[in-house]
Amino acid sequence: MRSERKRLWVALLLVSLVLLGCQAATKAAEWVISSGEQEHAVLSAMPEPVPAASETAIPPILPTPQGVVRETAPPAAASVTPAYSAASQSVAFQVRLHPDGELYSGDQVSVEVIALQDAGAGRLRVEVGVDTPGGEQTGSADFGRYGIAGRYQATLYWVWDTTGLPAGDYQIDYAILPGGPSWIQTVSLLPADDLPPLEQTAAWAAATSECCTLHYITGTAAERDLQALLEMADEQARSASARLGADFPEQVSIALLPRVLGHGGFTSQDISVSYLDRNYAGSTPEIVLHHELVHALDSRLGGDLRPTMLVEGLAVYLSGGHFKPEPLMGRAAALLELDRYLPLGSLADNFYPSQHEIGYMESGALVEYMIGIWGWEAFSAFYRDIHPGPPEESGGGNSQVSWSQSEAIDVALQAHFGLSFQELEGDFVEAVQAESVTDDLRQDVRLSIRQYDAIRRYQQALDTSAYFMTAWLPDGKRMRESGIVADFLRHPSAVENLVLETLLVSADEHLRAGEFAQAQAHLEAVETVLDALEQGTGEALSAHPLAADYLALIRMLMAQGYQAQRIRLDKNTARVWVTRTGLYLDELELVRSGDGWSLPDKLNY
C-alpha cells in the first residue's frame, strides 16, 4: 500500500503546526485534503476559523491531571491537494485523530476522515495503514452518516495500536477508494513514561446501586463522589419510573465521563453523563441524568415514530426543566416577548439544527400544555400512535409514504383530538401569552440562550470533539473491555481553554444565582475573546478585562502546579477551586496587589 502511494509523491513541503492545548507539533489534529488539478501532492498552510498564535513562544510544560498544559495558540491546519475527481465532482476531506492532544506509546488511536462535501461520499471508503517495527497495521471503513448532524465520514475506531512501539515519528498512509486521493500524515509518539500521572494509573471501575451500574475512571471526580452519585442514580431512576409509570427491566448502565461532551448527556447503549469539576456546559448532573433516564425508559415503551421534538420535550417536562428547574410555560412566554419563539412546524422538522435552548424550552412547554389539557393517558396514547407515513396504495411490499415529522404529528393530532398541528399551535400560543413574565425570568431566558450559544461556539473553535452535533463518543462497553481511558481523559487544556472554560463556569453560577449583570459580563468576556481569536488579534486572551484577570490568575496557579476548575472573582480577591491530581479539590483565596495576584494560605481542602 505504501510503496505505490510513495511513487505518486514528488514533493512534500512540511509546515510547522502551531499547537492547540496538548497537541504535539507533529500530530496534525486536523488535515484538510481537497481535490484539484495538481498531479502531485503539496502540503501547505491553510487558515482555520480560529487564527494563528497570539503568543509565539511556547513556555515550559507543566504536568497536570488532564495532560500537559502549554500556553499556545489555536492551530493552523494543513492541507494536502492531490489530484482527485470522482463523478466529475470535487470532494474535500478532513482528518482528526483521537485521543485529543499528544499521542503516547500504548495509545489506541482512532481516525475520523470527514468528507467536507456530501457529493459521492456515500460511495467511498478509506484505507489507512501505518508501518511499525512489528509490521504494517491497516484498517478500512466506508463513509456514512455520523452523529446528530449526520456528517459524512469514515470512522476507524482504534485502528492503530501503539502498544509496545518505541517513541518517535510514524507515517499514516491514507487512500480514498475508488480512485481518490492518497496522502501521508506524520505523527509523533511520546514515550509511555511521559504520560501525565493521572493516566499512568487510571482505569475503568464500576459500582452498582439498586437501579444502575456506574462506570467511572479512577482518579477522577466521579471516584471521589461515588457514594453520592450512587444515591443520586437511585433517586433519579425512581423518579423517572414514577413519572412514566414503568420500571426499568434491567440494570441501567451509566458512564460518568471526566470531560464535557455535548451539553453533558447522551443516551445510546449506555447513558453517558459528563461529571467533572470544570463543567463548562452549565448542566447539573441530577437533571441531566434524569433527562437521559427518561429517554432510556421512553424508548423501551415504544412507538412507531416518536418525533424528536416530543421526545426531547417529554424528557424536559418530566425532569422539571432542561438544565435546571424552570417554569416551562413562563419561559415560553418570555421567548414570545423576546421575539425568539420558533414556529412549531419548523422546529419539529429541524429540531437539532434549531437554536438548542429555545427548542428544548418550547418543546418542554408544549408537552406540559398538552398533558395539562388532555391528561397523561390521552397524551401517551397519542404520542405512542404517531407513524412515519401510511402504506403505499400501490406497489405492494412494505413500502411506505414518508411524512415529515410535522406532518406525522398533524395526522396523529387529528386522529386523537380532532385538531390540526396548526390549530394546536394557535391554542398553545394563546395559553403562553396568558402567562405572566417577570423581568428576572426574561433576563434569565435571554442570557440562557446567549450562554449556550457561547458554549457551542467555544466547542466548535477550541474543543471540537465535544461539539454536540458530532461529539466523539465511542462504544463505551468496548472501551471498558479494552481498558481505553485516554479518549475521555485527554481534552484540550491550553491556557485559552482554561480561561474560557472557567469564564463559562462562572457565567453559569452567576446566572443560577440571579446575578444577571455578572453573568452577562462573563459571557461578554467569552464572546470578546472568541472574536479576537477569529480575527487574529494579538493577545486575544487580554481582549476583555475580565478575561485578562482570569488569564493572570490561571498563569499564576499554573506556575504553582495547580489547574483551575472554578473561579469566583470579587474586585481584588478571588476564590479559586483547583486540582493537582484530578481527585481532590483545593480551595484557595488569592489577593490582587500592585505586583499581580498572590497566593496566601489555603482555606480548606
DSSP lists the bridge partners of residue 252 as: 212
What averages of pLDDT result for each successive group of 10 residues across the chain (605 residues)? 39 29 35 34 26 23 26 31 35 91 96 82 88 93 90 95 96 92 94 92 97 96 96 97 93 96 89 95 92 94 93 96 93 97 96 92 98 97 94 57 92 97 97 97 97 96 94 94 96 95 98 97 98 90 95 93 93 92 85 84 51
Q: Measuring CA to CA, how many Å separate 260 from each of 274, 323, 361, 476, 571? A: 5, 14, 22, 15, 29
For every residue of 138-195, DSSP letters joined together read EEEEE-EEETTTTEEEEEEEEEEE-TTPPSEEEEEEEEEETT--EEEEEEEEEPGGGS
Query: In the structure grid, which three cell numbers stand for residue 539, read together?
Result: 493577545
Q: What topology does CATH give the domain 2-198?
A: Immunoglobulin-like (2.60.40)
8 A C-beta contact, residue 531 and residue 505: no
Nearest Cα neighbor of 502 from 510, 448, 68, 517 is 510
Q: Measuring CA to CA, how many Å separate 532 from each of 179, 316, 505, 542, 563? A: 41, 36, 20, 9, 24
User: What pLDDT was estimated at residue 393?
Assistant: 56
8 A C-beta contact, residue 103 and residue 109: yes
> How many whole angstroms from its chain centre is CA 334?
28
Nearest Cα neighbor of 422 from 345, 486, 528 is 345
Alpha-carbon span 504 to 530, nearest angstrom: 12
> How many whole angstroms from its chain centre is CA 558?
26
Which distant-in-sequence residues (6+ apart) come within 8 Å of 384 by Cβ?
301, 302, 303, 304, 306
8 A C-beta contact, residue 564 and residue 553: yes
How crowded is residue 509: how many other Cβ atoms within 10 Å of its Cβ? 17
Q: What is the domain class of 204-443 according to CATH?
A: mainly alpha
Q: Cis before residue 178, ω within 30 degrees of 0? A: yes
Whether 204-443 and 2-198 are alike in CATH topology: the answer is no
Alpha-carbon span 525 to 520, nearest angstrom: 9
Query: In the structure grid, which three cell numbers stand for residue 250, read together?
Result: 434491567
Q: Which residue has the cell 482555520?
A: 48
Residues 271-293, buried b or exposed e (16+ Cβ, 10 A)? bbbbbbbbbbbbbbbbbbbbbbb
> How many whole angstroms from its chain centre is CA 88?
35
Q: What is the 3-state secondary structure (H, E, C) of 553-574?
A: HHHHHHHCCCEEEEEEEECCEE
User: What pLDDT was estimated at residue 60?
Assistant: 24
Alpha-carbon span 194 to 63, nearest angstrom: 10
Q: What is the 3-state secondary structure (H, E, C) of 439-492?
A: HHHHHHHHHHHHHHHHHHHHHHHHCHHHCHHHCCCCCHHHHHHHCCCHHHHCCC
**Helices within 202-355 (DSSP H only):** 221-224, 226-244, 285-301, 308-319, 328-337, 344-349
As a 3-state breakdown, the chain gives helix, strand, coil percent values, each rounded to 5, of 40, 25, 40
User: What pLDDT was estimated at residue 321?
Assistant: 92
Q: Measuring CA to CA, how many Å separate 276 from each of 15, 26, 262, 466, 470? A: 36, 30, 14, 14, 21
Query: In the structure grid, which three cell numbers stand for residue 366, read together?
Result: 408544549
8 A C-beta contact, residue 63 and residue 82: no
Helix (H, G, I), strand (E, B) or coil at 57: coil
Alpha-carbon span 215 to 207, nearest angstrom: 7
Residues 24-43, buried b or exposed e (16+ Cβ, 10 A)? bebbbbbbbbbbeeeeebeb
Nearest Cα neighbor of 99 from 208, 190, 209 is 190
Domain spans of the chain, in order of start: 2-198, 204-443, 493-604
Alpha-carbon span 94 to 121, nearest angstrom: 13
> Does the CA dihedral 290-297-215-198 come out positive or negative?
negative
DSSP lists the bridge partners of residue 103 as: 189
8 A C-beta contact, residue 401 and residue 389: yes
Alpha-carbon span 479 to 258, nearest angstrom: 14
User: What pLDDT was estimated at residue 119?
Assistant: 59
> Does the CA dihedral 160-164-166-167 come out positive or negative?
positive
The single-letter code of the amino acid at 496 is E
8 A C-beta contact, residue 251 and residue 211: yes
Q: Cis before residue 99, ω within 30 degrees of 0? A: yes
8 A C-beta contact, residue 117 and residue 85: no
Residues 153, 268, 478: CA angle, nearest 5 degrees:
75
User: What pLDDT was estimated at residue 605?
Assistant: 44
The DSSP H or E segment spanning 366 is: helix 356-374
